[in-house]
Amino acid sequence: MELYVSIFSVSIITMLVIWVHRWRNPKCNGKLPPGSMGLPLLGETLQFFKPDTSNDLQPFVKERVKRYGPIFKTSLVGQPVIISTDQELNDFVFQQEGNLFQSWYPETFMEIFGQDSAAALHGYIHKYIKNLVLKLFGPESLRERLLHDVEKSARLSLCLWSEESSVELKDAISTMIFDLTAKKLISYNPSESSDNLKDSFVDFISGLISFPVNIPGTAYQKCVQGRKKVMKLLKDILAERMNSPNRKCIDFFDCVVKELKKEKPVITEAIALDLMFVLLFASFETTSSALTLAIKFLSENPEVLEELTKEHEAILGNRKYPDSGITWQEYKSMNFTFQVIHETTRLANIVPGIFRKAMKEIHVNGYTIPAGWGVMVCPPAVHLNPRIYEDPLLFNPWRWKGKSELSGGSKNFMAFGGGVRFCVGADFSKLQMAIFLHCLVTKYRWKPVKGGNIIRTPGLGFPDGYHIQISQKRMK
């Protein structure tokens, strides 16, 4: 009996050793990039999600670049991944989407964002969805409708905040942007609804970039519950509108429902629901974080604030009526403002990684990327590269003067992605930031009260908020 137990034990140990060896040494027809696959199943997930409190490159990436070079392998939430900090490879990945690569995110991420979300759609249907969204966020809509609405929202919000002893800026801006965009998307009015839609998104965001353990009390579980609440509301709205044959197109959801009612619709109800969810999420979280960071940078850099104020006071000075609304021509003339916005988003690095999957075996830079492996493009590694940006941690909007990135993206600037998936809402985000800054610096002054510290997990957050006191400027 002891002999059998010994043989069994040795067999189990041998199998474990073989399994661990195979995990750490994946099969490859060529040469994999250097790196570690970490622990079986867990990989290096815990190290990846370790919090950091600086504007510098995430320690997880920085340490491995120093050890392995600009391209390395790892494993995150059970998925083998190649991480690229090389701008040429990053650009190659973006340009080869649909040929060698396709959009992809780890399974746990797709579970909470939706299997039919825009990130999971490819080819014709992705292009179709993108063109649909441009009806809301395209240049014509920005110029004819959203410019005025954004300015009205910013003016009202700043007026209300100036009456408070202090405001927590990130939450206040999130509410301002969310209320406006939710109205445009689904005609949502928080004062008329029993469901606090924004709070459900706060729960969702709190665990979006967290270790995926779905047990009570965890951030991930809170995230999942937040999504369920939002999806229930969206499903109820969809059912109501699908059964309303004479409803006019009032908001963007009506446009989506119109597509669903076609004889041969391109999209399904599941795609429509996930699309609305993603738009509601994307419309306020990233922009509010970037705008909060911009105000923090302006508070810490008075020479930038002075230059920005001069630009916007000049706009008022050139008007016949100083309090008339912002025109499209005035908006497009805000050159230094766009420099401030680009420098803020370069340093904010709100999106720590953009994921793709290799559709076939790919040989690049002397390495092989096996078919089915994930590839994580790392924008912060490019944005904070001293060979690309002098003094990369310095907030210096003047570095953008005359740069082509002001009108789009490039291999050296990926704050809004790249390739065919360049963010369709990028121009809307810039417009919101520019108009808010205009309203702020021309009519108000502010001073920090407390908070302002940042944390990256690896996404950007403000753990103790950023509280400021806002007061109206005295008219000259």
Binding residues: 423
Distance of alpha carbon 178 from alpha carbon 199, whole angstroms: 11
- Chain centroid to Cα 211, Å, comes to 18
Buried b (16+ CB within 10 A) or exposed e, 236-271: ebbeebeeeeeeeeebbbeebbeebeeeeeebebeb
φ/ψ region of 123 (left if φ > 0, alpha if ψ in -120 to 50, else beta) reads: left
Distance of alpha carbon 275 from alpha carbon 38, whole angstroms: 35
Tally Cβ neighbours within 10 Å of residue 454: 20
Handedness of CA 251, 253, 255, 261 (dihedral sign): negative
Residue positions forming the annotated binding site for heme: 423
Distance of alpha carbon 32 from alpha carbon 369, whole angstroms: 7
Contacts of 79 (CB under 8 A, 6+ apart): 43, 106, 107, 374
* Residue entry with tokens 């990135």: 405
Helices (H) and strands (E) in the chain, counts: 18, 12
* Residue entry with tokens 């009456």: 163
